[in-house]
Amino acid sequence: MIAQAAYYPVFLDLRERRCVVLGDTPLADEKARALRGSGAIVVHIRRPFQAGDLVGAYLAIDASDDPAAQLEARTEADRERVLLNVADVTHQCDWIAPALVQRGPLQIAISTSGESPFLARALRERIERILGEEWGPFTRLMGRMRRRLRRAGVSGEAQQRSYRRLLRSRAAVMLRDGNQDAAAALALTIEQGARDTDGSPAMGEVVLAGAGPGDPDLLTMGARAVLADADIVFHDALIGAEVLGLCGPRTRLVDAGKRAGGRSTSQSDINAAMIAAARGGDLVVRLKGGDPFLFGRGGEEVEALQRAGIPVRVIPGVSAALAAPAAAGIPVTHRGVAASVAFVTGHRAQREPIDLGALARSVDTLVVLMPSELETIAGRLAAVLGADRPAAIVSQATTPNQRVVRAPIGRIAAAARVARVEAPSTLIVGAVVNVLSDIEGLSAAEHQTHMGALASPM
């Protein structure tokens, strides 16, 4: 059962309303300034409360920090039907002030119903770092578009498409960079498209976005934004439910994964579906594990989309090639130990034209992604590097199910079988595997746990 909120959130129009602030404190000064900023007629009473102070007030704030006076003010507020807020005394409040993020006409209020003002402030500060000052002029730009489209008699559906296009466009970036004229021109172009349309939607867009190695906190802010706005997301098979949960409530999800030995969607079918969706006006996200351009066939998809005349852009992601070793406490390079690293996929490592032995000999650290035939790969590496070369398998990196198995390359396949390592996994080979686990006074298991904690974002 969902608990009922104790307060009803509302924004009040206080213009020309008489509002009383009680108290000669810095907090009282702050509250008075905020009320004046809303257009209220503010009466700031700095002396101790007296009967009649709240008569005729629309609402009042008691920031006097005087318990006896607060009780008197509470009694008068009830009698005069004045909405009263007593600072930091929640049980005496008719209303509470939220933590507020303000960007011009855009206001975001955060309340914990009095449970934790600290948490409300902390969340406000986080949102302030996400929503820059450009969102004020962007909100006004959106308002001007809305008024013009309504005056022009544009249909509601076409209006909504225009708003979505403006929100997804680079207008906010232009405003952040001070290019107000460019943002206004872009908005006018979108509006004109809504007026001139014959009923068919304007061309959409495809975004290739990296989903990272598994932990949803490792997605970039750009990837999170397009997932929230997307009409349709074509995702890889191994993208987790928590990552897909970042998609908007109306986003359509399509499993476009390729599964070794199982039923898969062909690349040509994926390309055709993305092209059709974009031509239908959708914002299409191709969500790929790790980074789209590191063994992700992202380049092939970009080529197909460009040939079809579809606007396409790429948002890089955190690759498991770096994230998996880091999450296990393995630096792929380390001063005095390893100055070079190479990356290869498991299926390429098993066949030509990759000379796995030559590649392994040429670098200090070798990282093999998705080593499905681990025994074969490990055997080839042991033959050229020696069976005692340090190695590690990191399974389901950065997720709650992450497991790390360390063993010499000659025994790593057997150790992985005993540990029942599951896909997706990453093989790391080189002296770096044990460089941090050998710290005096810290066992490998303890260090592994410690590094996992450090790798997790706050």
The CA-atom distances, in angstroms, between 327 and each of 59, 267, 335, 419 are 54, 31, 19, 18
Least confident stretch, 30-34, 265-269, 403-407, 439-443:
439-443
The rounded distance, in Å, linking the Cα atoms of 160 and 47 is 53
The rounded distance, in Å, linking the Cα atoms of 291 and 317 is 4
Q: What is the pLDDT of residues 311-339, one digit of tens each?
A: 999 999 999 999 999 999 999 999 999 99
Least confident stretch, 49-53, 109-113, 131-135:
109-113
Residues 107, 112, 113, 115, CA torsion sign: negative
Instruction: Using the predicted structure, report yes or no on whether residue 115 has a pLDDT greater than 80.
Output: yes
Q: What is the pLDDT of residues 231-278, one digit of tens each?
A: 999 999 889 999 999 999 999 999 998 655 556 788 999 999 999 999
Instruction: Using the predicted structure, report yes or no on whether residue 32 has a pLDDT greater than 70.
Output: yes
- Helix 320-327 × helix 444-455 angle, to 10°: 130
Q: Name the residue among 424, 449, 393 with its Cα closest to residue 211.
A: 424
Q: Report the share of the chain in percent with pLDDT over 90.
A: 74
Instruction: Using the predicted structure, report yes or no on whether residue 380 has a pLDDT greater than 80.
Output: yes
Instruction: Using the predicted structure, report yes or no on whether residue 223 has a pLDDT greater than 70.
Output: yes
Confidence of residue 58 (pLDDT cuts 50, 70, 90): very high
What integer best gives the mean pLDDT of the chain?
89
Instruction: Using the predicted structure, report yes or no on whether residue 441 has a pLDDT greater than 70.
Output: no
Q: What is the pLDDT of residues 203-217, one digit of tens each?
A: 889 999 999 999 999
Do 342 and 332 touch, CB atoms closer than 8 A?
Answer: no
Do 346 and 370 touch, CB atoms closer than 8 A?
Answer: yes
Domains of the chain: 18-97 (3.40.50.720), 135-196 (no CATH), 205-318 (3.40.1010.10), 321-455 (3.30.950.10)
Residue 5 has a pLDDT of 57
Token pair 């404190």: residue: 25
Q: Name the residue among 82, 105, 91, 113 with its Cα closest to residue 9.
A: 113
Residue 448 has a pLDDT of 42
Active site (catalytic) residues: 236, 258
Instruction: Using the predicted structure, report yes or no on whether residue 445 has a pLDDT greater than 80.
Output: no
Average pLDDT, integer, range 138-149: 96
Residue 443 has a pLDDT of 39
Confidence of residue 193 (pLDDT cuts 50, 70, 90): confident
Tell me if residue 198 falls in helix, strand or coil. coil
- What count of other Cβ atoms lies within 10 Å of the Cβ of residue 215? 21
The rounded distance, in Å, linking the Cα atoms of 102 and 226 is 23
